[in-house]
Amino acid sequence: MQIQPAQLSAHLQKGLASLYMLHGDEPLLVQEAADAIRACARAHGFTERSSHTVSGSYFDWGAVLAASASLSLFTDKQIVEIRIPSGKPGKDGAAALQQLAEQSRGNTATLTLVLLPRLDKQTQASAWFAALQAGVAIELAPVGRDALPRWIAQRLAAQGQRVADGEAGQRALQFFADRVEGNLLAAHQEIQKLALLHPGAELSFAQIEAAVLNVARYDVFKLSEAVLSGQTLRVQRMLDGLQAEGEAEVLVHYTLSEDIRALKRVRQAIDQGSPLPMALREQRVWGTRERLFGRVLPRLDDATLARLLHAAQQVDGIVKGLKRPDWPTDPWQALARLAMLLCKLCGATAQAGVTRCPN
């Protein structure tokens, strides 16, 4: 059974299942969900806990199966935790997980908790993953930038705090989100700090600005989404953050240029008569990128994308130490110009028809 993270509390109030699977790459959300399950289990008499971390191909799955099947002399209820950091249990592990799922049916003495990272579609189609869904499965996805202000507001409300109504409050939440983007654990810590500094208060922008540290962590692949969304201020902030964090210029360039190449290939397929959905699938554009491509492509012509591709080739040389006429010699400045060229075009598609790239 698959449930949403927000449903976990209500689910636990109704009673415990014998098997839980948590999967996702957001450490804070995984930790909180696991803690909630453990706390509920302790309240129901599960006083003993064993933990097993799967590392390497020689992991002893027999020990896990034995722990699940046995009880100590001192308790009649136990929690068995299995952490699989790689998300790949291997052949023996896959068989063992299916056996554990079968053993959990109707088992009121052992609670099995399986912790996994974010899993790709192929892994989620595996037999062992399907078997674990006989219990309760919860996917704990990262909180996206668009949802982050709302997430912060909910966390503040849970500790008796709020921001002002209207535009002033939204501005404060957006500022908060900018400071903690990509670092949810630090966001949680900053929220807790506000509870100590201003307990039970309506928080002003000045209070948030003074208290919240700049702990944002940026992902180069999230940069791609910001560029394609036309978010110029966020793109510049992310580039500054990536540079400060020591990200490789070549990876940033690859991300930007790959988007340009993909846009051009899809545009050419459309011009040759392919429907947009088919062209996107053929170029393996999925998920969020599929939505963003679908929004901007109808308004970008092939000539515009050709000029962008030429600009990306110029920046490739700069990143590798070459000089290009009319371009900055600093790689990060050149990357910023390339990012802004694409970003402004993508942002302009909301107001214009076919948009052309500047020479």
Domains of the chain in start order, with CATH, are 2-139 (3.40.50.300), 148-211 (1.10.8.60), 220-348 (1.20.272.10)
Looking at residue 42, its amino acid is: R
DSSP assignment letter at 299: G
C-alpha to C-alpha distance for 283 and 296, rounded to whole angstroms: 16
Structural tokens at position 99? 């056996």
What would the DSSP string read from start to end of 230-260? T-HHHHHHHHHHHHHTT--HHHHHHHHHHHH
pLDDT per residue over 85-126, tens digit each?
999 998 999 999 999 999 888 888 899 999 999 998 899 999
For 40, half-sphere exposure in the C-beta direction (CA atoms, 13 angstrom radius) is 20
Percent of the chain with pLDDT over 70: 95
pLDDT at 354 over 60: no
Residue with structure tokens 């507001």?
153
- 48 - beta bridge partners? 78
Neighbouring CB atoms inside 10 A of 36's CB total 15
Band the pLDDT of 349: cuts 50, 70, 90.
low
Residue with structure tokens 């545009």?
267
Determine the pLDDT at residue 103.
87
Neighbouring CB atoms inside 10 A of 203's CB total 20
